[in-house]
Amino acid sequence: MTPAAGAETRPPLLPEPATDELRLETIMGALAEPLRMTVARELLVNSDDFDHPCGWFGFDRPKSSLTHHFKVLREAGVIHQRQYGLERRSRLRTEDLNARFPGLLELVAAS
């Protein structure tokens, strides 16, 4: 399967801000919470080209707590999320973040 064909079979993205609407203070606020910074760093450093479910991160937290943290990251513009049945999967918005805030992801990786 080619990447273009795979992209066609994925569900649409959940609502998120457009690249030109990303605000540094909103992103920094989302990343100020340690668990959310860990999510961003793991997606940046240890991820690949796939959308990852919450269980991939190995957090021992209630599902409602994780749902909240992932929603904050998505609404801030840090991650993309797609709904796969009952499961939401996430991916870092690497290209968007690099285009809007050059150097930010290097700081996240070094954290």
18-110: CATH class: mainly alpha
Contact 90, 57 (CB under 8 A): no
Q: Which tokens in the block code for residue 19?
A: 């690249």
Q: What is the pLDDT along the chain (111 residues), one digit of tens a residue?
A: 445 544 558 889 999 999 999 999 999 999 999 999 999 999 998 876 778 878 787 888 888 888 899 999 999 999 999 998 888 999 999 999 999 999 999 999 998
Global pTM reads 0.86
Structure tokens belonging to residue 59: 């957090």
What does the chain come to in residues? 111
Rounded to 5 degrees, what angle do the CA atoms 107, 66, 78 make? 35
SS3 assignment, position 42: helix
CB 44 within 8 A of CB 79: no
